[in-house]
Amino acid sequence: MGQIDQSLLDLETPHILLDQDRLAANIHLIQNIGDTRGVNVRPHIKTHKCLELARQQIDAGAVGITSSKPDEALVFINNGIRSVTVAYPLVVASKLDRLIAGARSNDVDLRLIVDSEVGVKAIAQAAEQHRKQISIFLKIDVGLHRCGLKEDAPGLVGLVQKVIQEPCLTFVGLLSHAGHTYGADDADAARKVTQEECEIMMRVRKKLEANGIEVPEVSVGSTPGTLVSDSYDGITEIRPGNYIFMDRMPLRLKIIELNQIALSVLATVVSQNSDYFIVDAGSKTLSSDQGAHGMPGMEGFGLAYPADRFEDEDREMIVVRLSEEHGFVARKDFDLATGSKVRLVPNHSCVVANLLDTYAVLKDGQVTEQWDVVARGQVH
Ligand SMILES: Cc1ncc(COP(=O)(O)O)c(C=O)c1O
């Protein structure tokens, strides 16, 4: 039997654990991909919402951060991050007002996306009011069918021309997110989705250039796409987020190994019956998300191991059901004492990070620090 460090036993559960060496390895893995392919790395911080981790990404060479929501972005803007893309369509004046005010007073290079005339007008109005120049990306739908214009959308060139006509907006290029890589069956299928993403972006760039519009930047990004792509011709920036933690999704695609996953959840067996160990991490810790963007293909809600046999295949179990405060871990042919600790590897680490206030940071199996999930709850 392995040993659990006392510092882990002292943690109340459920608690998120971050393995510091794996975080560093993941940060360098992606930065290295960016550096060797000649593309900027602008990590999406919706994954970790944590200043310490954003600083590590910047220190490793990231050009700035990507965020989803204005208030999330403002946490980083107010704490020294100097270049921020909010990769989310912003159309509400009050949110734009405080975001642009914050970017202006901190002299931040603020980059926003549009996919509608409503968005262009709303951003232009707020930018003018604060006399702040804003960089604008046109969001392209490359197959996720969430936000963005399809490559053949009739109003595509016209919308970019509207951006160009606004004195406080600078059109800087195209942005996409191929989140449907998570629904792929394997690495080859994920690679194909990523190739298609790049091809679509190149066709849109050509169309704009044929209309006399320069496209200096092309920003793509997802963790599977970054890990499987073999070429980034014409792409200037990647925006992966999940990679800093990883989870069961890239593991399912067989593009990472289990020992690359930096986030786990420490939980306690609080009860048991003939079918299940009941642990104190339910949907309020693991979330009910079985995978990003509701993509199918995952069994259960996470892997579970006795804490002293973490990542030991012989002791691997599955969290098969959740209620709010309880996780149902399907029993195998070994016993676990009620009151003992388990470690869970969630399906989707980004949503887990959003549900708890702090990370316990492990170095050589010992809790050395606690970091705040400081932008947690900043959903406006
Ligand atoms: C617009 C956008 N860019 C980048 C990302 C990062 O993707 P991933 O977490 O797969 O790395 C996301 C994730 O949802 C996103 O929505």
Q: Render pLDDT for 304-323 as a digit per residue (tens, 0 to 9).
A: 999 999 999 999 999 999 99
Which pLDDT belongs to residue 293?
72
For the CA of 88, the nearest atom of ligand 1: 1
pLDDT value, residue 310: 97
How many Å apart are CA 69 and CA 290, to the nearest integer? 23
Average pLDDT, the chain: 96
Q: Which two tokens stand for residue 336?
A: 């676990």
| Token couple for 371 | 């970091």
CATH fold of 6-17+254-372 reads Lyase, Ornithine Decarboxylase; Chain A, domain 1 (2.40.37)
* 222 CA distance to ligand 1 middle (Å): 5
Which residues neighbour 232 within 8 Å (Cβ) at sequence distance 6 or greater? 37, 38, 39, 198, 220, 238
In the structure encoding, which two tokens stand for residue 321, read together? 């059901």
> Domain coordinates of the chain in residue numbers?
6-17+254-372, 21-242
Calpha distance 319→277 (Å, rounded): 9
At 120, give phi and psi (nearest 5°): -60, -45
What region does 15 belong to: left with phi over 0, alpha with psi -120 to 50, or beta? beta
User: Within 6 Å (CB) of ligand 1, which residues are found?
Assistant: 44, 47, 66, 87, 177, 179, 221-223, 239-243
Token digits of residue 261: 């996953």
State in Å: Cα 292 to ligand 1 middle: 9
CB-CB contact of 91 with 139 (8 Å):
no
122 and 128 Cβ atoms separated by less than 8 Å: no
Quick check: 291 pLDDT over 80? Answer: no
Please state, as a whole number, how many other Cβ atoms lie within 10 Å of the Cβ of residue 113: 25
Q: What is the pLDDT of residue 372?
A: 98
The percentage of residues in the chain with a pLDDT greater than 90, rounded to a whole number, is 93
Distances (CA, A) of 92 to 71, 319, 329: 13, 40, 43
Per-residue pLDDT tens digits for 124-134 = 999 999 999 99
Supply the angle between the helices 70-77 and 51-60 in degrees, to the nearest 10. Answer: 70
Q: Judge contact between 232 and 238, C-beta under 8 A.
A: yes
Report which residue type is found at 124: A
> DSSP string spanning 25-48?
HHHHHHHHHHHHHT-EE--BTTTT
Phi, psi of 285 (to 5 degrees): -115, -50
Task: Report pLDDT for 308.
Answer: 95
Beta-bridge partners for 367? 362
Q: Indicate the pTM of the whole model.
A: 0.96
Q: In which band, very low, low, confident or very high, does the pLDDT at 297 lie, cut at 50, 70 and 90?
A: confident
What's the confidence (pLDDT) of residue 1?
53
Residue in 39, 44, 86 to alter for ligand 1 test, most ligand atoms within 8 A of Cβ = 44
Q: What is the pLDDT of residue 294?
A: 72
Q: How long a stretch of residues is the chain?
A: 380
CATH architecture assigned to 21-242: Alpha-Beta Barrel (3.20)
pLDDT range class, residue 3, cuts 50, 70, 90? confident
Q: Would you say the CATH fold of 21-242 matches that of 6-17+254-372?
A: no
Tokens standing for residue 220? 């793509």
pLDDT confidence of residue 192: 94
- The DSSP-derived string for 140-205 is B-SSS-SSSB-TT-TTHHHHHHHHHHSTTEEEEEEE---GGGGG-SSHHHHHHHHHHHHHHHHHHH
How close is the Cα of 173 to the center of ligand 1, in Å? 18
Structure tokens at 311: 């990542």
The DSSP result for 119-146, as a single string, is: HHHHHHHHHHHTT--EEEEEEB-SSS-S
Q: How far apart are CA 322 and CA 338, in angstroms?
A: 18
Residue 372: beta bridge partners? 358
Residue 290 pLDDT greater than 90, yes or no: no
pLDDT in tens, 66-106: 999 999 999 999 999 999 999 999 999 999 999 999 999 99
What tens digit of pLDDT does each residue of 224-249 get? Answer: 999 999 889 999 999 999 999 999 99
Distance from residue 358's CA to the centre of ligand 1 (Å): 22
Q: How far, in Å, is the centroid of ligand 1 from the Cα of 21?
A: 23
